[in-house]
Structure 1
């Protein structure tokens, strides 16, 4: 098995997107099949690690529909760490993703607090 579009899409649709307020574990995500970006990222991380691909969960903000929001996605190691986003179906996460932290989900609590205090101005985009 390899990291491919098929596995990526299967993962993307195996979890029903619903806001949750918990620190997810892959085993629980598989059992409940419900979650938000944190659950998607944790499950993707577990599945890719299971097939031998070094993967980590990262968090930060993502720009969607004119605003920035807290978001969790992944980085996989392909000779260097490369961002990918199973929630948005992006094998290569685009420039709308701004990484603020990596580590454990407990480390990410500070990012959640920070996001509400950020004031970001887009000067130019192309």
Structure 2
């Protein structure tokens, strides 16, 4: 990848042990750590590495997580900005922005696109 390139991945905020997320939460925690190491190792080559922590989105992958509906039922109520599990556009726009040249000095970051749930207490 040439200098100025960007790598963007999708995660689901692994700093919490979410109900029903089980093994996927462990995998996402490892993914978030990997992102930090990629940022460290690829940064000197001018390559940025970031993640988008999206709220629950009704996707094919989500269907494979038993009990995923539990997130769908409460997320919109907890999100100050609201949340539509059927709308992937906010997460997609964040990915496009991070891949663009609008974030030339951002790497190793996790951008939350979850309606604000990450900032709310239990």
Q: TM-score, normalised by structure 2?
A: 0.29
The structure that has the greater radius of gyration is 2
Where relative contact order (Cα < 8 A, 6+ residues apart) is larger, the structure is: 2
Q: TM-score, normalised by structure 1?
A: 0.29
